[in-house]
Chains A and B, each alone.
Chain A
Amino acid sequence: MNMKTLNKFSLSRNKALVAYLIVLLLMIIAPLVIKDAFILRLFTTTYIFSIVCFGNMLVVGYTGMLCLGFVAFYGIGSYAGALAAKELGFGFLLSVLFAGIVAAIVGFVISLPCLRLSVDFVGLITTSFLNIFLAIARNWRSLTGGPNGVTGIPRPVIFGYRIASVTSFYYLMLIFMVLSFILLNNIIHSKYGRMLQGIRDNELGAVSVGVDSRKMKIFAFTVGSLFAGIAGSLYSFYISAINPDNFIFNISTQIMQMCVLGGMGSLPGAVIGAAFFTVVPELYRSLALYRIGLGGIIMVLCMLFRPQGLLGSRAFAGDKGFADRIKRARVVAQQKKAAAK
């Protein structure tokens, strides 16, 4: 009996692993096939955004805390990484690490007032925090460069190898994305991931079996911010100039939309959501202007037909979707018909 159970279990895991490896392979050979620098840049941006989405997913999709101003941690990482490289002369990897740690510390502090609040107030606090961050970024000119931001961020140099070409940036971001994915995926499939999801689904239920919900919420916020910070600094190095407009509320909304479309509680979903909202508006240039509007329409469609997003778990949606209601109404009608006969 138990053997059979185990076999079945490892089979489904292996299937996922095979799927991941195929996608990874495609990502690795993409630059060999696609010679269009424009498209490669879109993918590169996708990988960076995937990492922010992983962080957002951990906080919102896995722990159930509505962090609406998540782009703030991305912004903090961007500035921290850029300034570390430019002003402190840190190397690339050290700057990225520094950016992640700074963002994580800030995330840790912001998580504290969020612990005892309901979901909507967590949304309010994090939104206000984003506004505070933007105010500082715009006004503390001596540090942040004010509205002009930080320019002339040096090109990354790793072990003597200078990253400058489109292809080398592509692989650099791919490596960071894959590493982030593996680490977070490991966390999510461990007891820590179970505890986070337990808190999301039913906090009191989780506490009743010994989960320390305060500690785990702080953990999610801190680790989520860490990855946002890392992604932010990668972004700085990639575009070599940042300013406060890169981190406005719209971007936060977009990060959330990426996660919702991909599926709350799914890391691969984060990549798909990031890819969709990065690539589609750019491919159809006329759509780019309506990026947020497009996001809105997709959100409405999601809510109606697939509340759990593309890859989110079915159960996550409950039975609140419009399509579900229609299905249920049909079943009820059929039952009535059958009863009438």
Chain B
Amino acid sequence: MQTETTLNKYQAYDLKFMDRLLTFLSSDQRSGGARRLVQAVGVPLAAVALFLMLWSVLAAKVQTSLGQLPGPAKVWEQALVLVDEHQAARAKEAAFYQRQEKRNAEKLAANPNAEVRIRPYTGAPTFFDQILTSLVTVATGFLIASLIAIPIGIVTGMSQTLYAAFNPIIQLFKPVSPLAWLPIVTMVVSAVYVSKDPLFAKSFLNSAITVTLCCLWPTIINTAVGVSTVDKDLINVSRVLRLPWLTKTMKIVLPSAIPMMFTGLRLSLGIGWMVLIAAEMLAQNPGLGKFVWDEFQNGSSNSLARIMVAVLVIGFIGFVLDRGMLLLQRKFSWDKSAITR
């Protein structure tokens, strides 16, 4: 009972590794158990160890103009430095506001009618600020894309006419690298988005729209395929029942398209994240991409190690986003056999 609840909890987080470990621990027959333990824990650990070893050995042999290529130890050290820098920046910010409040309080004490205001802190964004910026940007772009793509996918999947109308456009734009859109997006945003007190920064919009442009296609295509390939027998069920169009759509067509829809969303989010980093580098928009670019331009002896920290974090976030989508899929889809690779 105890093991079962823990097992479920871990499954929910979809850590396959944990699954396997727990399956092993809770298995009754231990024959061959040792082999399974090696499979579940030993092999991945050994692979990681081997990777780190190769990395440190090979990195030591490469001399760049920024010094030696950093090994795992150096990268870890820089990761800690980045954490420290972030904490220092936060402390500085807190102190900055405290000083203002104190000064304002003094002013008010001397003269109750004095005009007081608080100026915002304008320190450079830290590594963690950039992570947050990138996450917000990708989420915004992805959400906008999904809101556009799912309805288009549904109608193109359901209507031959609309499919014929949208198909050439989709086929034409799908293979375009979203980065090619970047200059156009930038110009259009500058021209169209003019406001004295903008809610969003232009750079944020540029990045988010670029993400949107590349997130559209996989979702549209997969949703359309899912909607148009509903099991013929289920359609016959709805014909025999004479279900009205709306009921048929809500009860039969959409549910059966959900697995494909999620496949599209997962693909989109993965592509969106990759593209965002590149777009931020290219356009100097705030985010992880800009962090990488700034470090590259900065060219200090620690730059390469800091870039590598960013690379690992980008990879890890990409992984977490994918698992998050999978979790959603498991929660909302009737088809529990979603692929976990």
| Bound together | no
